[in-house]
Amino acid sequence: MPEFLHVISSDEFIQRTSRFARPSPEHVSLDAALQRLAAADTISPEDLPEWARSTVDGYAVRAEDTFGASDSIPCFLEITAAVEMGTIPDAVLSPGQAAQIPTGGFLPRGADAVVMVEYTNHAGGSSIEVSRPVTVGANVLEKGEDVKSGETVVRAGRVLRAQELGLLAALGIDRVPVYRKPRVAVISTGDEIVSVGKRPRPGQIRDANSHSISALVTSSGAAPIVFDIVPDNAKMLRESLERGLELGDLVVLSGGSSVGVRDLMVDVVSSLAGVELLAHGVAIRPGKPTMLAEWKGKAIFGLPGHPVSALIVAQVFLVPFLRYLQGCNLEKGPLGQRTKAELASSIHSIIGLEEFIRVGLTKTAKGACFAHPVFGKSGMLSTMVKADGLVVVPMNVEGFARGDTVEVVGW
Amino acid sequence: MPEFLHVISSDEFIQRTSRFARPSPEHVSLDAALQRLAAADTISPEDLPEWARSTVDGYAVRAEDTFGASDSIPCFLEITAAVEMGTIPDAVLSPGQAAQIPTGGFLPRGADAVVMVEYTNHAGGSSIEVSRPVTVGANVLEKGEDVKSGETVVRAGRVLRAQELGLLAALGIDRVPVYRKPRVAVISTGDEIVSVGKRPRPGQIRDANSHSISALVTSSGAAPIVFDIVPDNAKMLRESLERGLELGDLVVLSGGSSVGVRDLMVDVVSSLAGVELLAHGVAIRPGKPTMLAEWKGKAIFGLPGHPVSALIVAQVFLVPFLRYLQGCNLEKGPLGQRTKAELASSIHSIIGLEEFIRVGLTKTAKGACFAHPVFGKSGMLSTMVKADGLVVVPMNVEGFARGDTVEVVGW
């Protein structure tokens, strides 16, 4: 028998998703790690650079040979070598000697500074004049100055951007620990639902949720496994659910706009041996009948069948959960960019429900930003396309007045 | 012979990238279209919904039958049918009749409104009492009310989010026009460069740019084709460049920290028959030696060899160009999120160069945000990892003082 829980707040719902463990980390190639979170610290196995390098085009010198040099009394040095990229010269620089060196060249032994070519002149034969003194280490990146062997270069939890991957490559680290991408079984249910390629018969509609939910799963960094549409039949729903739990790290069901069908979904989930129903009913609008259950450490999300409600609930709970499984902190969605805007018309809300209001954003030439509640019945799919973001009206607030400054979260 | 151009501003550089045509649009499946831009308007081929649907659980009725109904004087209706999901009942509703209907159910012919179940009571046998009147269209989504046949549902230039894909699916549109992903040949050059998997000999360093630049290409929605490292040899560089132009829609070369090698790259690019050198030298720091050329309508970007400079230049010019090729407006990068912050220490800059300063961001418990210029020589790769973003110091500004409010662009 289904265990009916009380309607809980969205914060409590988020809290109940925190019991699930992250999939085990894996080591992947740098290219596969882009935008994922480091699952562990990465320690440099070596110094960067491994040998002192010049940061300019010029001459490698012994700094003390240049002390006192000036435009009027330059010092003279003998060029005894030319550093080539990709090699270290054999010769050791002796007092009074210099070696031509390009930017990035490794310093010859004996050299401890580089004079920029701009402060030198040819002085006949293989001699140069140096018109400025340099101190030890001038224009040089010392061995280990960038990264020292044993130093942590990327901390656990860091997003691996282009720059992290570049630095890791420079250190010879070609695999990094990241959390495995969660596999998400996406199951649309409903007697009336047909796939996008089919012509609906009278009374039928096409499946929007498989596409929009799997798109959100993908853009959350996880991997959707899209199932065939399941009719409102306990046996078939249970078979798909079991298969989803087998193939996926979690299952996302959507369906059940009417009370009867919602009961069916809860009944089927509750019938799994060892399942625990964690939430059934959340004080949000849209999305009140949202369900959460655990079976053998795997999460089962039950989203409303209506595509607008399903999308909003997925943004509020599913996307943050998928990011959490990949190493992020758990927080309430939507996670999009936040923009302050002036409300162009008032919003009315119900005390006791946290409401997510669809709004469009416009900007005036002067940079003022306005949020316009999207016109149309809440069940219209076109409203989700017309909305640039959501305004969240907390549970204990009756709404916002025209002219109020609100925060719009991109979605 | 190379045609040396004057050093130009970053705005002028961006302007010169605008001459390149976008790759031709293609039609892709919904799942492949995620986060890409619509290349043309999409028109709905049908009405959504195709038939009036109930938005609540209740009874489909003829509205006029309920006029005057109240708690004290309810009206009585005869239940003659039950709408099942996925079908339309055969029977036509006559005066005095009602049909049970679930949320999302299609209205029986003859019905023009739905009474919520909450405002009804069983009245014995197959009768119900209705205690509230409904107007025509109440609790109904009319045929075509969401989207009308012939209406534009997704405009050209729109980013295809989960919600656009869901709506398109609901309308039976399973392929959408988007700009083809640009193929980008990524070529690292340099005698001293070895691939990440190799142990550098003394004087050699590992290739960071292939990884960081191809990561930026990928996260810009384009497709990198990573080439083997090319030594500083005119013949080999030309061969790789020609191959890159054959396979890619554009070529990104990086290399040439020293003046001699930079000249080699320009010489090789200039030697292509029919090539036009569009820019060679930009008034930015880092990144002054950046190059741009056109060959048969394809762009050749020449980035500095130093990984930090290459990354910054790629963020400023390459990423916006790749987005532009996929339908976005052309603008100067970096394109990351913008945050206002208080400068924690002063920044000095040179008049005549636009500088991109690496900064870390910290937030106090009270929400104040500080930008800290990243400590360390500008050539250090670790600085790009330590930086959360960049502060741009315009060409004609000498710097910013500690305490100034600056805009930090995430990168």
Q: What is the domain-level CATH number for residue A400?
A: 2.40.340.10
- What span, in angstroms and rounded, lies between the C-alpha atoms of A89 and A100? 11
Cβ–Cβ < 8 Å for A402, A346: yes
Within a domain: A332: no
Cβ–Cβ < 8 Å for A45, A144: no
Total structural domains within chain B: 4
- B133 pLDDT higher than 60: yes
Look at residue A90 in the predicted model and tell me its pLDDT: 86
Q: Are residues B282 and B391 in the same domain?
A: no
* Angle subtended by helix axes A209-219 and B162-170, to nearest 10: 160
What the block records as the tokens of B123 is 């009245």
B164 Cβ under 8 Å from any chain A Cβ: yes
Beta-bridge mates of residue A127: A78
Phi, psi of A206 (to 5 degrees): -85, 155
Look at residue A6 in the predicted model and tell me its pLDDT: 81
- What span, in angstroms and rounded, lies between the C-alpha atoms of A94 and A111? 8
Which residues on A lie below 8 Å from B203 (Cβ)?
A: 51, 84-88, 105-106
Q: What is the CATH number of the domain that holds B38?
A: 3.90.105.10
Candidates B256, B240, B288; CA nearest to B191 is B256
Cβ–Cβ < 8 Å for B36, B90: no
Which residues on B lie below 8 Å from A30 (Cβ)?
A: 196, 211, 215
Q: What is the CATH number of the domain that holds B279?
A: 3.40.980.10
Query: Which residue is associated with the tokens 């600056």?
Result: B406
Residues 265-304 of B with CB under 8 A from A: none
- What span, in angstroms and rounded, lies between the C-alpha atoms of B170 and B173? 8
Q: Are residues B345 and B260 in the same domain?
A: no
What the block records as the tokens of A33 is 């790690």
Cα A5 to Cα A16, A234, A254, A284, distances in angstroms: 13, 21, 19, 15
Which residues on A lie below 8 Å from B30 (Cβ)?
A: 196, 211, 215
Q: How many other β-carbons are positioned within 10 Å of the β-carbon of residue A44? A: 23
Strands A284-285 and A354-363: what pairing?
A: parallel
- B3 pLDDT higher than 90: no
Q: Provide the H-helix boundaries in A68-198.
A: 162-170
Residue in B with minimal Cα distance to A105:
B203
- What span, in angstroms and rounded, lies between the C-alpha atoms of B257 and A139? 14
Query: Which residue is associated with the tokens 């500080």?
Result: B370
Q: Are residues A252 and A302 in the same domain?
A: yes
Query: Which residue is associated with the tokens 């060409």?
Result: B395
B337 Cβ under 8 Å from any chain A Cβ: yes
Q: How many other β-carbons are positioned within 10 Å of the β-carbon of residue B134? A: 25
Closest chain B C-alpha to A322 CA, distance in angstroms: 16
- What span, in angstroms and rounded, lies between the C-alpha atoms of B319 and B335? 8
A367 Cβ under 8 Å from any chain B Cβ: no
User: Given an 8 Å threshold on Cβ–Cβ distance, is A192 in contact with B104?
Assistant: yes
A154 Cβ under 8 Å from any chain B Cβ: yes
Phi, psi of B176 (to 5 degrees): -130, 150
Look at residue B2 in the predicted model and tell me its pLDDT: 43
User: Given an 8 Å threshold on Cβ–Cβ distance, is B206 in contact with A170?
Assistant: yes
Closest chain B C-alpha to A244 CA, distance in angstroms: 20
* Angle subtended by helix axes B259-270 and B234-247, to nearest 10: 50
Q: Are residues A277 and A380 in the same domain?
A: no
Look at residue A257 in the predicted model and tell me its pLDDT: 79
Q: Are residues A265 and A293 in the same domain?
A: yes
Q: Are residues A58 and A94 in the same domain?
A: yes
- What span, in angstroms and rounded, lies between the C-alpha atoms of A198 and B133? 38
Residue in B with minimal Cα distance to A29:
B211
Q: Provide the H-helix boundaries in A41-194.
A: 162-170
Q: What percent of chain B has pLDDT over 70?
A: 99
- What span, in angstroms and rounded, lies between the C-alpha atoms of A129 and A118? 11
| Minimal Cβ distance to A49: which of B190, B205, B261 | B205
Within a domain: B4: no
Pick from B163, B164, B201, B319 the residue to mutate for testing the A interface (most A CBs within 10 Å): B163
User: Given an 8 Å threshold on Cβ–Cβ distance, is B85 in contact with A147?
Assistant: no
- What span, in angstroms and rounded, lies between the C-alpha atoms of B300 and B16? 12
Within a domain: B203: yes
Q: Are residues B16 and B67 in the same domain?
A: no
A86 Cβ under 8 Å from any chain B Cβ: yes
Residues 52-71 of A with CB under 8 A from B: 55, 57
- End of a domain among B289, B304, B325? B325
Overall size of chain A counted in residues: 411
What's the rounded mean pLDDT across residues B184-193?
A: 97
Q: Are residues B217 and B296 in the same domain?
A: yes
Q: Which residues of chain A have a pLDDT value below 70?
A: 1-5
User: Given an 8 Å threshold on Cβ–Cβ distance, is A85 in contact with B191?
Assistant: yes
Q: Are residues A213 and A245 in the same domain?
A: yes
Tell how far CA A159 is from the center of its chain: 6
- What span, in angstroms and rounded, lies between the C-alpha atoms of A164 and A168? 6
Within a domain: B332: no
Closest chain A C-alpha to B344 CA, distance in angstroms: 23
- What span, in angstroms and rounded, lies between the C-alpha atoms of B388 and B407? 12
- What span, in angstroms and rounded, lies between the C-alpha atoms of B24 and B178? 9
ipTM value of the model? 0.94
Cα A296 to Cα A166, A272, B374, distances in angstroms: 40, 10, 47
User: Given an 8 Å threshold on Cβ–Cβ distance, is A377 in contact with B55?
Assistant: yes
- Per DSSP, B118 falls in state G
User: Given an 8 Å threshold on Cβ–Cβ distance, is B192 in contact with A145?
Assistant: no
A259 Cβ under 8 Å from any chain B Cβ: yes
Tell how far CA B341 is from the center of its chain: 25
- B271 pLDDT higher than 50: yes
Q: Are residues A247 and A118 in the same domain?
A: no
What the block records as the tokens of B189 is 């050059």
Dump pLDDT digits (tens) for B225-244.
999 999 999 999 999 999 99
Q: Are residues A130 and A255 in the same domain?
A: no
Q: Report yes or no on whether pTM surpasses 0.90.
A: yes
A229 Cβ under 8 Å from any chain B Cβ: no
Within a domain: B216: yes
Q: How many other β-carbons are positioned within 10 Å of the β-carbon of residue A338? A: 12
Look at residue B1 in the predicted model and tell me its pLDDT: 39
Tell how far CA A136 is from the center of its chain: 43
B24 Cβ under 8 Å from any chain A Cβ: no
A49 Cβ under 8 Å from any chain B Cβ: yes
Within a domain: A63: yes
Which residues on B lie below 8 Å from A257 (Cβ)?
A: 102-104
If 0-12 CB within 10 Å is exposed, 13-18 middle and 19+ buried, where does residue B359 land? buried
Candidates B284, B322, B292, B303; CA nearest to B210 is B303
B356 Cβ under 8 Å from any chain A Cβ: no
Whether the link from the prior residue into B49 is cis, omega within 30° of 0, is yes
Whether the link from the prior residue into B289 is cis, omega within 30° of 0, is no
Q: Are residues A232 and A305 in the same domain?
A: yes
Within a domain: B150: no
B104 Cβ under 8 Å from any chain A Cβ: yes
- End of a domain among A273, A304, A325? A325
Residue in A with minimal Cα distance to B206:
A170
- What span, in angstroms and rounded, lies between the C-alpha atoms of B16 and B328? 16
| Minimal Cβ distance to B51: which of A106, A202, A208 | A202
Within a domain: A333: no
- Per DSSP, B316 falls in state I
Look at residue B9 in the predicted model and tell me its pLDDT: 97
Look at residue B91 in the predicted model and tell me its pLDDT: 84
B45 Cβ under 8 Å from any chain A Cβ: no
B382 Cβ under 8 Å from any chain A Cβ: yes
Phi, psi of B188 (to 5 degrees): -90, 135
Domain assignment of residue A103, given as a range = 53-141
Radius of gyration for chain B, computed over Cα atoms and rounded to the nearest angstrom: 32
What the block records as the tokens of B313 is 């230049």
Which residues on A lie below 8 Å from B162 (Cβ)?
A: 211-213, 215-216, 219, 311, 314
Look at residue B207 in the predicted model and tell me its pLDDT: 97
Look at residue B230 in the predicted model and tell me its pLDDT: 97
Dump pLDDT digits (tens) for B352-365.
999 999 999 999 99
Cα A361 to Cα A230, A344, A364, B125, distances in angstroms: 37, 10, 10, 53
Look at residue A5 in the predicted model and tell me its pLDDT: 55
DSSP A297-351: TEEEEEE-SSHHHHHHHIIIIIHHHHHHHTTPPP--S--S-EEEEEESS-EE--T
User: Given an 8 Å threshold on Cβ–Cβ distance, is A167 in contact with B385?
Assistant: yes
A196 Cβ under 8 Å from any chain B Cβ: yes
- End of a domain among A325, A347, A376? A325
User: Given an 8 Å threshold on Cβ–Cβ distance, is B380 in contact with A146?
Assistant: yes
What is the sign of the dihedral through the CA atoms of B150, B156, B158 and B164? positive
Q: H or E segment at A285?
A: strand A284-285
Closest chain B C-alpha to A111 CA, distance in angstroms: 15
